[in-house]
């Protein structure tokens, strides 16, 4: 799996849309990401379809619950054809440790700070600024057995000495296409140390989807 660097976000709401779209992408060249919306609407049926088509699957449910519940959920996830999944680092060390105990061969990636939170939100929640909170979460991720961090491209310079995987959404090779503001191109993200990039709409909503897919490889 490490030869593939591109994760295509399948932010669709139906099985049919997924089935239509995946004709344009190659399971030998990318992973696919199934998030809360698609998993809630289609469940394991869509996981089975993607596995049948040969895709490696990143199940992005951003788990955040008591350690026992997260551990048991990871146990369910690890018995399916999923290769990577997410939990919130802010669930704390015990939750992370317990999740990692039942992960088997899958990679668990920790969500650091949601990019929807601004300085005021982070200050209210943690009494720290964004950079300080990222450092706290980086240290937590470093000392546990978690496999990596999900971070915005803007945070990559803060994580230059982080030795685990960096999975990076917020990627645009053409600027100004949509609502994403704090973006980097795929080349820039790799130059700043991204191990995987997550790209959704620039490929899923492109007029020429096959070309857009190739542009992000
Ligand atoms: O369409 P777009 O390329 O913006 O999609 C990026 C994907 O990454 C979406 O599935 C979005 O939910 C996810 N994302 C994330 N964490 C962020 C920003 C986006 O997981 N901080």
Rounded Cα–Cα distance for residues 141 and 96 (Å)? 8
CA of 127 to the centre of ligand 1 (A): 26
Please report the DSSP string for 12-69 in residue order.
Answer: -SSHHHHHHHGGGS-TTTEEEEEEHHHHHHHTHHHHHHHHHTT--EEEEEEE-S-HHH
Task: Report residues whose beta carbon is within 6 angstroms of any ligand 1 atom.
Answer: 9, 11, 35, 114-115, 150, 152, 169-170, 180, 198-202
Would the pLDDT of 2 be above 60?
no
Would the pLDDT of 97 be above 90?
yes
pLDDT at 183: 81
CA of 170 to the centre of ligand 1 (A): 6
- Contact 186/213 with Cβ under 8 angstroms? no
Pocket test for ligand 1, best of 9, 88, 151 (most atoms within 8 A of CB): 9
Q: Please list the active-site residues.
A: 62
Pocket test for ligand 1, best of 169, 202, 203, 212 (most atoms within 8 A of CB): 169
- Among the atoms of ligand 1, which is closest to the Cα of residue 201? 1
Helix (H/G/I), strand (E/B), else coil: 77: helix
- CATH match of 6-215 with 3.40.50.300: no
Task: Considering only residues 114 and 27, tell me which one the structure prediction assigns the higher pLDDT.
Answer: 27
> What pLDDT digit, counting tens, does each position of 30-77 carry?
999 999 999 999 999 999 999 999 999 999 999 999 999 999 999 999
Rounded Cα–Cα distance for residues 39 and 10 (Å)? 10
- Among the atoms of ligand 1, which is closest to the Cα of residue 171? 3
Per-residue confidence band for 180, with pLDDT thresholds at 50, 70 and 90: low
Would the pLDDT of 79 be above 80?
no
The backbone region for 33, taken as left when phi is positive above 0, alpha when psi lies in -120 to 50, beta otherwise, is beta
């Amino acid at each position: 799996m490490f030869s593939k660097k591109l994760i295509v976000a399948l932010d669709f709401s139906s099985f049919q849309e997924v089935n239509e779209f995946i004709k344009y992408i190659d399971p030998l060249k990318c992973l696919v990401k199934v998030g809360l919306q698609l998993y809630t609407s289609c469940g394991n049926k869509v996981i089975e379809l993607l596995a049948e088509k040969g895709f490696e699957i990143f199940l992005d449910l951003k788990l955040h619950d008591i350690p026992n519940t997260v551990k048991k959920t990871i146990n369910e996830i690890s018995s399916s054809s999923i290769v990577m999944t997410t939990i919130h680092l802010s669930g704390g060390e015990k939750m992370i440790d317990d999740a990692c105990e039942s992960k088997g061969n899958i990679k668990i990636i920790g969500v650091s700070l949601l990019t929807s939170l601004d300085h005021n939100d982070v200050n209210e929640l943690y009494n720290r600024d964004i950079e300080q909170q990222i450092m706290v979460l980086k240290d937590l991720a470093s000392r546990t057995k978690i496999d990596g961090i999900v971070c915005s491209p803007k945070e990559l310079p803060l994580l230059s000495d982080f030795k685990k995987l960096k999975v990076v959404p917020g990627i645009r090779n053409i600027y100004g296409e949509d609502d994403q503001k704090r973006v980097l191109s795929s080349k820039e993200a790799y130059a700043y140390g991204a191990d995987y990039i997550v790209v959704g709409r620039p490929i899923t909503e492109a007029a020429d989807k096959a070309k857009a897919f190739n542009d992000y490889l």
